Structure 1
Amino acid sequence: MTDLTARRARVLGPRMTTFYREPVEIVRGEGVWLWDAGGRAYLDAYNNVPHVGHGHPRVVEAVADQLATLNTHSRYLHEGIVAYGERLTGRLGEGLDVLTMVCTGSEANDIALRMGWAATGKTGLIGTDATYHGNTHLVSQFSSGRTPIGGRVDWVRRVPAPDSLRPLGGSAEAQAEAFAAGVARAIDELEAAGHGFAALILDPFFANEGFPDLPPGFMAPTQAVVRAAGGLVIADEVQPGFGRTGGHFWGHERIGLVPDIVTMGKPMGNGYPVAGVVTRGEIVEAFRRDFGYFNTFAGTPVAAAAASAVLNVIEAEGLQANAAEVGTHLLAGLRALDHPRIADVRGAGLFVGVEFTEPGGLEPAPEFTAEAVERMRERGVLMHRIGRGGNILKIRPPMVFSRENAELLVATLGEVLEGMD
């Protein structure tokens, strides 16, 4: 392991991060399990890339068969690509019926923002102040992790994100209007600066913000503000989409948001690099008029085969219902844990977490949370942390996670917390 770590650092360069103090050399995956080079098994409670499970045989077979038959770009006609587009858009309403396939969620969000420019003729964009939407130059302007070289551009505004324990406006009841007021102020600033307002982009589950508990209809005041200003709403479904939250196939359905553009990524192909943007025909027309777009590796027959297989598995194995049932069981188990630093347990479906604070207050406890993550890894359970303060355990396993897996996770976390002050 030491030799591999040194070789990796040399050939991949400095600051190439790994998870955990002692990096894990993963050599195989199946379902919700990963195995390291020494043969040790780890329960994967973190990765949403293998949405229907690591190495799912139906996805593997679909990719292999199509790759052996044909793989070329989308400037040729191909039944599989069109059929997938019809099937995917059939799961969306509100006139969202045109699919643009890309390779990554970063590309999807980049294109969605440029669609906002083209459709409105304005350049002002808004996101939250604790978010992440990808790695391109454009979407990196929203990321809370680090300031882009040269500073943030003037045509992007970042508004305060909602929070469960520290709600905007001082209370849960006031938070929806307070969030909308923040968006309204940002719109006014963009208009005053001469940029105008094109679009608001957000993850409707507010995943990176710490997935606060928000009621259905929370976004209604904000949506009214955006519509009145002539802007678009972009829903980034890379994390909550494809049944992850259990009760709904899309995160925006769960919160009652009606987006103009929906982006999706990692879970779409179960590890095969496929992502997408779905919107209305007139928005795509404006985008292609102003920008043009072609991507050699997006929308290929193999990409469509992988994505179609994922939908097949979600439907055939009832994975959305599984997320709802197992997620409820997991939340109940986590809420039964007793520790003075547990401030909140929340989530939906198979996306849940535990927020840790300093005892008796609301001050985030990031070091404690980081140590809990490390100790869980030592006991064979993989998870990570998230949130503005880095103090929320992030539990987001493959959708085939079972009740027994949930019980193992809860029991292990209970053991870990017993040994921590």
Structure 2
Amino acid sequence: MAVYIFIGIYVILIIGISYFYSRNGSDEDYLISGRNRNQWNILASKFAGAVGVSTFITYTSYTYKFGPWGVLPLILGVMVGYSVFAFWAAPKIKQFSTIGKQFYTQGDLVRFITNNDNTRLLTNSITIGIQFFWILLSLVGGAKVIAYFDLLSYETALVFTAAIVLLYILFSGFKAVIITDVFQTIIILILLVIIVYNVLSNDSFSIPDLIAVQPLEPIKIKDIIGLMLYGVLSVFGLADRYQLCYAAKDTNAAKRGMSLALIPIIIVVLLLMFVGLSALKQNNALDYDNAFIYAMQNLLSPSFYPVLLVLFFAGLMSSADTNIFAVASHASLSFAPDSPNKVKNTRWITIIIVVLATSIAFFWQSIVDITIVGAAMRITIAIPMIYIISRGNNTGRFIASSLGGVIALCLGLIFYGATPSIAILVLLGSILGLFYKSKNDTLFWG
């Protein structure tokens, strides 16, 4: 009963916060959070969007399967990629959005640089596909955890969590995403530290023992390279990072918020690595999708279960809302950018997206496979976006690089399946596309 009370209070708080901030909101508040967010808002939203239930499950799964080398290359890549994005890309993105005005989607930046509507449509189409995979990951991961603890069936948990997230996004849009992320960031950090400390305080093993545990599979060099590439490049392929830059009040808020968020993200990933190693030392015969859940159920005191479930809900909602709004806003503003009813259109598409993602999640429940495909999809647009942020304005190069990444992803999945190494193919496809050059090669804005 205590579990249901904790979850009920948490859900009421989230919906209440969303409703409170939506009462006098404008269209700009709904679509881009008023473009006046400070560095702490940006930090919290960046962290909450990056650390969800899927993160808990995926990083422990990688560690359980490959040992520390399943996570350490990723951490190194993330440190490099997020630092470059924060100190180099974020200020430029905010500056471009201030000059161009009315940026809402990732494709708006591309259209501004290339002066071509087709590049905006292509960018947003790829972005919708990328973010949709992360909606699936959040919903599947959250529902699996809830079902594993016998609180609700998988199907009921799926519908329940999707409905809650849908409700508060309909209230306040991107403003709700950022405001609730501040609250959920505090919850995630505090509860995760408490829970992991409790797991690691087990007297049966020490941290050196965990580091020495033999992985289920030796990781291949090509997979290490793939994980590092993902860590470095993935941030450039995420639409919500661009929306956060647009929402920042100035370039300093964008830069500081993005850079400071790296600290708690790295701490959380390292904590999750030790959870995965703890599960591996206790039982090396698990489905690696269940490594985090096993550790929580077998290494955590039952008295912590209510706290654990609140952590799961915070993680699920903090990442799902970010991705749902990104998909809905990109879809509505791509296909009807000049509509006078932008907010209404976005709300309707939000409903459609949530229903579609929930329906697919009934059947596709492999967390690691979804993660690998979604991660590789991020890289398809990363190299083209780096080209754009560098003020590369050649339409042909951008389109060829984007399509090169998409084609390489499809070929990689066909011939190699869902493995981290397909990131290498995607990178090669994107880089090869940059060699193509069309005739329009002048910065149209001077």
Normalising by structure 1, we get a TM-score of 0.32
**What TM-score do you get using the length of structure 2 for normalisation?**
0.31
Which structure dedicates a bigger proportion of its chain to helix? Answer: 2
Identify, as 1 or 2, the structure richer in strand.
1
